[in-house]
Amino acid sequence: MTTLQRILHVDDEPDIQEVAKMTLELVGGFEVESCGSGQEALDKAPGFAPDLILLDVMMPGMDGPTTFVELRKIPELANTPVIFMTAKVQSHEIGQYLELGALGVITKPFDPMTLGDQIKDLWASDHSG
């Protein structure tokens, strides 16, 4: 089983990027690369080689689901687990994200103290064999 160490976080709001990066690095012990847009994620992801991608749903330009589809076209990221983050949590939308192939969905605003554990739990459920 791969160890979860490197997380690519994609969110268009600098405040959320900062809180997520700080909490995931300090509390979660992860290495985090932040991106402010879907395009930036497509540019940075192959070089960073994340174990997991944390992807905001609502972003200007290229939204989360579109970014997800584009990331899947990059061979080295085709199987990288993706967790969507969204403030709009309706069960049919969550269903759509899971059908796309997302590992899970985390609600915003997230609790900084438990974000790392939420991610680890979703990761473990995917890697339990």
Q: Give the structural domain span for 75.
A: 6-126
The DSSP-derived string for 52-71 is EEEEES--SSS-HHHHHHHH
**pLDDT value, residue 125:** 87
Q: What is the pTM of this model?
A: 0.94
In a domain, 94, yes or no: yes
**Contact (CB, 8 A) for 123 and 52:** yes
Instruction: Using the structure block, give the residue that is written with the tokens 């809180």.
Output: 19
In a domain, 1, yes or no: no
In a domain, 42, yes or no: yes
In a domain, 111, yes or no: yes
**pLDDT value, residue 127:** 74
Task: Spell out the per-residue pLDDT of the chain, length 129, in tens.
Answer: 578 999 999 999 999 999 999 999 999 999 999 999 999 999 999 999 999 999 999 999 999 999 999 999 999 999 999 999 998 778 888 899 999 999 999 999 999 999 999 999 999 988 775
How many domains does the structure of the chain reveal?
A: 1
**pLDDT value, residue 116:** 96
Residue 71 belongs to domain with CATH number: 3.40.50.2300
**pLDDT value, residue 129:** 56
